[in-house]
Amino acid sequence: MHFHLPLLLFLLVTVVPSDAGLLAQGSDSLVHAAHFAHRRAIKRSTGLAQDLRRAFAGILLDQPSSSGTTGRVYCVSVSGLSSNNTSSTGSGSNGTATSVSSGSAASASGTSSSGSSGGSSSPWKLIQSYQGSNFFDGWDFFADADPTHGTVQYVDQGTAQSSNLTEINGQGHAIMRVETTPQVSGNRMSVRITTTATYTGGLVILDAVHMPTGCATWPAFWSNGPNWPAGGEIDIVEGVNDYSNNQATIHTNPGCTIPSSNSSALNITGTVVGGTNCAAAETGNAGCGITATQSNTYGVGFNSNGGGVYAMQWVNSGISVFFFPRSSIPSDITAGAPQPSNWDQPMAFWPATDCNPFQFFNSHSAIFDTTLCGDWAGSVWDSAGAAGQAQSCAQRTGVSTCEAFVAGNGTAFADAYWEVSYVKIFQSS
């Protein structure tokens, strides 16, 4: 990556004033306070980490701090943070695959775009279908360094195909793998793809049979708009390592919040995990996340259940993410004529009352990626207890660092693959 960043905004992630204040309180014991501060720091850096994939212009520098430990300084180009305009970009460091406007991409759409079998009264019209032998048409392969500092080398389409990282399998499903060569000296090859088509508002449906899982993995299916975070970001499927509960998150400009962290009040099945402020700049880039309560929503539980369907609805009333396990996919979805008003509660909902979905989000491209280690999966290698993962990856693998595991344990990545039946993008009809 080239760092031609015009101006950098630095956020120090180790000890910040709030932690110092915490220590000064001298509440219980200093040890307890320090432990708490440490956890806060991990949580904060995890939030940042998640988002540095999003903060396309972001780079991470390690620099020694006075205390001798390594401090992490996150740098986000101001053009990325201050929304309006990135006319000065073009430094290859933004990490985005340029989103060409839709139009021409439509022709690339896969086989059966005629799924709408005369279906009844769906308010949605299919505009893009990625499915079958042409699944990969209409996506750009991102082949630069991972913006989130994972130990992966994203490869172009030709390399992905010749290296057996992508294929359409016997069921007509799209496969996206991580390289499983037993030992590698540098990064492992992986795949990150972005739709050339863009959409503002709409309904995006993903049917996946399998998703990447296991220690060191950090897969996501998500979308974002231009001039991050001005165009907004919507993370539909995301997690790391051996997590079993999905997290959906949005990241926006200041002014977007969740009205409550009460699941009943929001009418959702999920749980608000962090704060209710979705502004990237005001939350250390963390945004506002909602975690699923069921363990069949992500990772091993998702895969052993034959996966399922995720649907993201972006309409005047707000943005929702729904999950349906394989055995309970609504028939209107299967018929290609989705009727969200008939569906059960979403796992996540960000109501328009406190976050105008057409002010804070526009012109999104959908993205798949699988990175390894990096800012999130790597930073929680030693942690246990989050999102259904009982044991840390360090314990589980017997390997002390994420990077060493990636370099030396390639066969462990046999399950680090996406198997996607389809992605469909609908607009209101």
Ligand X SMILES: *[C@@H]1O[C@H](CO)[C@@H](O)[C@H](O)[C@H]1NC(C)=O
Residues 6+ away with beta carbon under 8 Å from 182: 408, 409, 410, 411
* Catalytically annotated residue among 167, 179, 238, 403: 238
Tell me if 345 contacts ligand X by CB under 6 A: yes
DSSP β-ladder status, 318-325 and 308-315:
antiparallel
Tell me if 18 contacts ligand X by CB under 6 A: no
Tell me if 89 contacts ligand X by CB under 6 A: yes
Candidates 82-90, 104-112, 371-379, 419-427; binding stretch for ligand X (CB under 6 A): 82-90
Candidates 5-13, 76-84, 355-363, 365-373; binding stretch for ligand X (CB under 6 A): 76-84
Annotated active-site residue 238? The verdict is yes
Candidates 89-97, 240-248, 286-294, 305-313; binding stretch for ligand X (CB under 6 A): 89-97
Tell me if 252 contacts ligand X by CB under 6 A: no
Q: Give the burial string for 68-95 (b: 16+ CB within 10 Å, else e).
A: eeebbbbbbbbbbbbbeebeebebebbb
Candidates 91-99, 126-134, 149-157, 382-390; binding stretch for ligand X (CB under 6 A): 91-99
**Count, residues in the chain:** 429
Q: Which is nearer to ligand X, 258 or 412 (CB)?
A: 412
Identity of the residue numbered 395: Q
In the chain, helix, strand, coil percent, each to 5?
Answer: 25, 30, 45
Compute how many residues bind ligand X; rule: CB under 6 A: 24
> Hey, is 44 helix, strand or coil?
helix
Half-sphere exposure of 124 (CA within 13 A, CB side): 29
- Report the site for ligand X in 138-177 (rule: CB under 6 A): 164
- Contact flags string 295-334 toward ligand X, x per CB under 6 A: ----------------------------------------
Q: Which is nearer to ligand X, 60 or 412 (CB)?
A: 412
Annotated active-site residue 233? The verdict is yes
Q: Give the shortest CB-120-to-ligand X separation in angstroms.
A: 19
Q: What CA–CA distance (Å, rounded) separates 368 from 119?
A: 29
Tell me if 245 contacts ligand X by CB under 6 A: no
Spatial contact of 95 and 142, defined as CB atoms under 8 Å apart: yes
Q: Which is nearer to ligand X, 243 or 417 (CB)?
A: 417
Q: Report the residue from 220, 412, 416, 423 that binds ligand X according to the rule CB under 6 A.
A: 412
Q: Give the shortest CB-29-to-ligand X separation in angstroms.
A: 31
Of 65, 113, 281, 313, the closest CA to residue 205 belongs to 313
Residues 6+ away with beta carbon under 8 Å from 304: none
Of 260, 263, 261, 255, the closest CA to residue 280 belongs to 255
**DSSP 8-class letter at 151:** S
Q: Which is nearer to ligand X, 4 or 35 (CB)?
A: 4
Catalytic residues: 233, 238
- Summarize as ranges the residues that interact with ligand X (CB under 6 A): 82-87, 89-90, 92, 94, 96, 98, 164, 262, 264-265, 267, 344-345, 397, 399, 408-409, 412
